[in-house]
Amino acid sequence: MTDPSTAASGAAVSASEFVTGAEHVQTKPGKPRSLASDAWYDLRRRPRFIISAALILLVLLMAAWPSLFTSVDPNYADLDRSRLGPSAQAWFGYDNQGADIFARTIYGARASIVVGISATVFTVLLGGTLGLLAGYHGGWVDAVMSRVADIFFGLPFVLGAIVILSSFRATGGSSATEITLLVILSISVLSWPACMRITRAAAITAKQQDYVKAARALGASTSRIILRHLLPNILAPVLVYATIALGGFIGAEATLSFLGIGLHAPVVSWGVMIADSRDFLRIAPHTLLFPAAFLTATVLAFVMLGDAVREALDPKTR
Partner 1 sequence: MTVESIVDSEAAGPLLAVDELFVEFRTRDGVAKVLNGVSYRVEAGETLAVLGESGSGKSVTAQTIMGILDTPPGVITGGEVRYHGENLLAASAKRRREVRGSGIAMIFQDALSALNPVFTVGFQIEEQLRVRRGMSRRDARKRAVELLDQVRIPNARDRVRQYPHEFSGGMRQRAMIAMSLALDPELLIADEPTTALDVTVQAQIMDLLREIQLDRHMGLILITHDLGVVAEVADRIAVMYAGRIVEQSDAVSLYRQPGHPYTQALLDSLPRLDLKGARLNTIKGLPPSLIDIPAGCPFHPRCPRVRDVCRTDVPPAHRPAAGRLSACHFAEELISGE
Binding stretches for partner 1 (CB under 8 A): 13-16, 28-30, 32-35, 209-211, 213-221, 224, 228-229, 232-233
* DSSP per-residue letters across 223-282: HHIIIIIIHHHHHHHHHHHHHHHHHHHHHHHHHHHHTTSS--TTS--HHHHHHHHGGGTT
CB of 245 to partner 1, least distance (A): 23
Nearer to partner 1, 228 or 264 (CB): 228
CB of 235 to partner 1, least distance (A): 8
Nearer to partner 1, 172 or 232 (CB): 232
Nearer to partner 1, 177 or 208 (CB): 208
Contacts 24+ apart (CB under 8 A), 262-267: 262/165, 262/179, 262/183, 263/111, 263/115, 263/176, 263/179, 263/180, 263/183, 264/179, 266/75, 266/176, 267/111, 267/176, 267/179, 267/180
CB of 49 to partner 1, least distance (A): 21
> Phi/psi of residue 100, each to 5°?
-70, 120
CB of 11 to partner 1, least distance (A): 12
CB of 182 to partner 1, least distance (A): 38
Scored b (16 or more CB within 10 A) or e, 5-35 reads: eeebbeebeeebeeeeeeeeeeeeeeeeeee
Note whether 92 and 105 are within 8 A (CB).
yes
> Phi/psi of residue 99, each to 5°?
-90, 150
Residues constituting the chain: 318
Of 237, 127, 262, the residue nearest 189 (C-alpha): 127
Nearer to partner 1, 16 or 97 (CB): 16
CB of 232 to partner 1, least distance (A): 4
| Neighbouring-strand partners of residue 215 | none
Nearer to partner 1, 34 or 171 (CB): 34
CB of 293 to partner 1, least distance (A): 40
CB of 128 to partner 1, least distance (A): 17
Nearer to partner 1, 42 or 253 (CB): 42
Of 45, 103, 142, 107, the residue nearest 268 (C-alpha): 107
Nearer to partner 1, 2 or 34 (CB): 34
Nearer to partner 1, 12 or 134 (CB): 12
Q: 258: which residues sit within 8 A by CB, 6+ positions away?
A: 271, 274, 275, 278
